[in-house]
Amino acid sequence: MTTTVAFDRGDVQSSAKLLREERLRIAPDEPGLVPGGRGWAPAAEQMAELCADCPDTIGDVLRMLTRAQQIMNELPPPAANRVAAFNSLYFTITDRVETALRGSTVRDADFLELLDVEFAKRYFEALRLWGEEDLTTPDAWEILFRRAQDHRLSKLAAAMLGVNAHINHDLALALTATWERLGPPRDELVHPDYLLVNDIFYAEIPGLRRRYSTRWQLRIDGLVGDLDDWSQRVLVAATRARAWEQAERLWALRDDEEDLARAMLVMDRASAYVGELLITGDGVVNRVGAALRVGRDSVRTGVGRLLGRRGAAVR
């Protein structure tokens, strides 16, 4: 794999600064990028113990995700922790990948399993950093973790925030780590396996989205029919293609620690900015839904009172 990358340090530095400023601009109510309230209390010890483990196989990943789900389901709010929504989605997709590894459609099972393991390591590392109140927690993950107890954020949006962080930030890093272990691959050999995960997402998206949707979101889902399924398939394909390209750029910079760090910073802040946009959109939908519910209830109450008065007049 040969990739030529033009890297402008000044442009990257200014991009990182601009992304940070724009993120703060669209989230003006936030006190800063790293507010208080970090950690996994009251399950800090259990989460730390889990994250001290290191998966070697996809079976290990599934076991750790199962344990993470048990821990998160006990965190406040009871059975409604927003990070738990993403963790559940992540388990579903990983379980499907594990099934695919046992089938005949995978060309290079070693590549796909190692990529899955390296991918998971980034998630568990983010959980560990947040639990240790470490300021180096990636912005892409911090944006979800700090809203773990925020009931205003829908579970659907929380799951999307996790997908955004994991694909737009972690996946490129997992790819480069995999290439370091196995050597830079020939795209024609392993790229079909990489795209196989897209097919798993396509198959699972409708059920996963409806699992986390509110009643109002389900109504919208019914109105638009298959359009949202199609648009999310396009989004998965585009973001995972972008992650592959990002990995190629990072791979080309691997011998220059400073430039690599700058590129990773921009990738992280860009992912966090996308996350803020997702939260903004979710807030709009939820507010519109709440307003319509209030209007509906007011109409029902008014009609009920009117009918009651008419019934009394008849008597």
Give the pair of three-digit tokens for residue 73: 């389901």
Select the more confidently predicted residue: 171 or 19: 171
Q: What is the pLDDT of residue 206?
A: 78
Query: What is the DSSP code string of 119-159?
Result: HHHHHHHHHHHHHTT-TTS-HHHHHHHTTTT-TTS-HHHHH
pLDDT digits (tens, 9 = 90+) for 69-93: 999 999 988 878 999 999 999 999 9
- Evaluate if residue 127 carries a pLDDT over 90: yes
Nearest CA to 86 out of 127, 129, 121 is that of: 127
Average confidence (pLDDT) over 153-158: 89
Q: What is the pLDDT of residue 300?
A: 47
| pLDDT-derived band at 290, boundaries 50, 70, 90 | very low
**Distance between CA atoms of 233 and 238, rounded to whole angstroms?**
9
pLDDT digits (tens, 9 = 90+) for 89-98: 999 999 999 9
Structural element, H or E, at residue 244 = helix 227-252
pLDDT digits (tens, 9 = 90+) for 16-58: 566 556 655 655 444 443 444 689 999 999 999 999 999 999 9
Give the pair of three-digit tokens for residue 222: 């019914």
Average confidence (pLDDT) over 198-219: 74
